[in-house]
Structure 1
Amino acid sequence: MSVVTPGAQSLVTTILVDGWTHARTALAARWSHRTGEAQTEVERRLDDSHQQSITPAPSAEAQRAAMEAHWTAFFMTAIAQHPTLLDLVRELGETSSGSVHNTNSGTATTLVQARDVHGGITFGTDR
């Protein structure tokens, strides 16, 4: 559990920051590479599990905790079936939760990305 829980926490952070599609695609590609399973099949199983992980909760913190518990159990089962996934889950736990993978595909004069911004901040110039 001490190896799996950080991986689940990292996945949940990625889901909440970058979105499910990004998290699923990245995880499925790595999973498929390690097990030889078709990436589309892995994505289907991940999608099914993602749907199960979404349950009503009284707060965002409770929702996050429920998702982390779900993905911890999911990874424990996956590792039991495919021991080669242990290193993948370990690597997920070592991933910085502060990384984001946003893309700008248009033209921007000024593009700002920020996280956890709290008061006293001004963007732009005084005129």
Structure 2
Amino acid sequence: MTEIFNKKSQTIKRRILRNNMTRPELLLWTKLKNKQMDGYRFRRQFSIGRYVADFYCPELKLVIEIDGPNHNTKENIEYDRERDLFMHSLDINIIRISNSQILDNIDEAIVIIKTKIPFPLTKGEG
């Protein structure tokens, strides 16, 4: 079976990315870590195929990408499009949030994320 998630060949790359997170990534991570998002566990710098997602929740099949100004170049727009198509082929949803959205109003960014998260089940449901 082909290895898709957290390939061993990308361990060093993921570690470097985790140790060099941007300020917007760090700010969002403080809101996602330790199951703060309705009890769901998010992983940071998680590889999916040949790509590394900024944040991924396996239970929700949800990727959160923080996009800086470099995502507006022609090459990166095409790269992001191919990446999104690949992730969608695995039934993974993607939320893209800009650096400025997080820096200007992190609470609004959290609301955007929460629109993709189902309400947690209460005891007796499910």
Question: What interval of TM-score do these two structures reach, taking the shorter chain for normalisation?
Answer: under 0.3
TM-score (ref. length: structure 1): 0.26
TM-score (ref. length: structure 2): 0.26
The structure carrying a bigger strand percent of its residues is: 2
